A = this chain, B = another copy of it.
Amino acid sequence: MNLPQNVVLKEVGPRDGLQNEKGVIETKDKIQWIDQLSESGLNYIEVSSFVHPKWIPQLADAGEVLKSIKRQKDVTYAALIPNIRGLMRALEVGIDEASVFMSASESHNQSNINKTIDETFPVLKEVVEEAKKANLTVRGYVSTVIGCPFEGPIAPEKVLRVVDALLEMGVTEVSLGDTIGVAVPTQVEQLLTLLFNHYSPSLFAMHFHDTRGTAIANIVKSLEMGITTFDSSVGGLGGCPYAKGATGNVATEDVLYLLSEMGIQTGVQMESIINAGFFIEQKIGRNLVSKQMEIARKERG
């Protein structure tokens, strides 16, 4: 197999993982957890979101969290930024990278952002321009790149159109999200083949959810095609907390097992990630169900 020697794991647990948790997680616990993650060897953590607290009450403390975490010099601290107002709030407390987001699916974009795709572009463009003036890099998330809960399968050409726009604006990386976790490797191959006809694989990260058990297989296919950056979340946090294990992000520790056994370096310590998983599951009040967490639970009794 033609595989990279090194891979970057971008930890999205504190933002994408926690954002749908209904129970209150205290700010001090988030800070302690992110500090643990900062010492695990990860070099990228998406800390929170500056979406209006009305939409994501769980992350209303984004400013406080970013002010209080212990920053490691080799870790990039990012936050989700919906618009200029969110960017201003983030700049007050300091972030290294701003993440903008939209969907490849018109109806998912409408549902999630309350704008058409074409109406979304100028909003993101303004954020990218202002962020660059503030010397931030900008990451662009594209959701529903394989399937949409409303429209079904999404044509790769629709993804390309959004990717074109984001890269034209000046984002430095596009994270391609299989938001509802429907992808299989043939679809990943089809999408990346089209995108790589136009752009270098180094411009992309893959963001898989493991809803149907295909995330690890999709990561392997992405690796074979030249992707070297993946989003993941400790314990597979993410998605609806009332559907155990059903819609989470792919778990950081399960990706770590795969990569490590395939001889690919990440610099991330498995034990630190597992410890961070045990820490946060106590705070959210339910067991995390990744494979490595289950194994650790057995081993530790």
Binding site for B on A (CB under 8 A): 1, 3, 182, 184-187, 189, 210-214, 216-217, 219-221, 243-246, 251, 254, 257-258, 261-263, 289-292, 294-295, 298
Contacts and interface: CB of A to CB of B under 8 A. Distances in A.
> Which residue, A211, A219, A246, A261, has most C-beta atoms of chain B within 10 A?
A261
B246 A211 contact: no
Given A210-B291, A213-B292, A216-B217, 10 more contacts: A1-B186, A184-B261, A211-B291, A213-B257, A213-B290, A214-B257, A217-B258, A245-B289, A246-B291, A246-B298
Given A216-B216, A289-B245, A298-B246, A1 B185 contact: yes
29 contacts: A1-B185, A1-B189, A1-B221, A3-B186, A184-B261, A184-B262, A186-B261, A187-B261, A210-B213, A210-B291, A212-B254, A212-B257, A212-B258, A212-B292, A212-B295, A213-B216, A213-B251, A213-B254, A213-B257, A213-B292, A214-B257, A214-B258, A216-B217, A217-B258, A220-B221, A243-B298, A245-B289, A245-B294, A289-B289
B263 A295 contact: no
Contacts of A257: 184, 212-214
Across the A-B interface, the 7 shortest Cβ-Cβ residue pairs: A217-B217, A213-B291, A184-B261, A213-B254, A246-B294, A216-B217, A217-B220
Contacts of A213: 210, 213, 216, 251, 254, 257-258, 290-292
Contacts of A292: 212-213
Contacts of A189: 1
A266 B153 CA distance: 22
A294 B214 contact: no
A180 to B, nearest CB: 11
A257 B214 CA distance: 9
